[in-house]
Chains A and B, each alone.
Chain A
Amino acid sequence: MSRRDPRIDVREIDSLRAELERRVHDLAPPRWNADPEDVQRSVARLVLTLVEFLRQLMERQAIRRMEAHTLTPDETERIGLALMRLEETIRDIGARFGLAPEDLNLDLGPLGRLL
């Protein structure tokens, strides 16, 4: 059975609770709904969120292969440049719709929480 420090204090539990709230903020399936007042911005947000999600997955995989030495130096340079440009592009297009990186909400349910 579990045993823990009996002196765990309130501030520590609160911080753990806050951290979990960030990760588990919605128990229902994630929703995407276009706001009729600004359909363009809603669609841009969905599209950029999905692209950013894929960018993070690709970056993670590229780093894994870099560490496993299964990329040639040439591949590493090309993938690195592509990811760098992709990150800039997402930021630039987002800025045109008034979307900051934090607005590209990655919580696609279990898929999002994998990152």
Chain B
Amino acid sequence: MATRDEARALLEGADSSLLDVVDNLLTKGVVLSGDVMIGLAGVDLIYVRLSVLLCAADRIAEERRP
């Protein structure tokens, strides 16, 4: 699995065109899922994959109106 060192290695060798690709692909674009790894004492125990994100309350009300 990718680590902080790999992220740094990716960016350290990057020319300006790769930096733009990184900016677009890793910090922009539609976000549909998020992950979190939870553990104790340095041991990963639970991996949570979130594919439902937060939504504005007034939008939900709008879409539910008949």
Contacts and interface: CB of A to CB of B under 8 A. Distances in A.
A32 B37 contact: yes
B10 to A, nearest CB: 8
Interface in A24-50: 24-36
Interface of A: 2, 4, 8, 13, 16-17, 20-21, 23-36, 57, 61, 64-65, 70, 108-111, 113-114
Nearest to A34: B40
Nearest to A60: B56
21 contacts: A2-B20, A13-B15, A17-B12, A24-B22, A25-B4, A27-B26, A28-B3, A28-B4, A29-B47, A30-B37, A31-B36, A31-B44, A32-B39, A33-B40, A33-B44, A34-B40, A34-B41, A70-B58, A108-B34, A109-B34, A114-B31
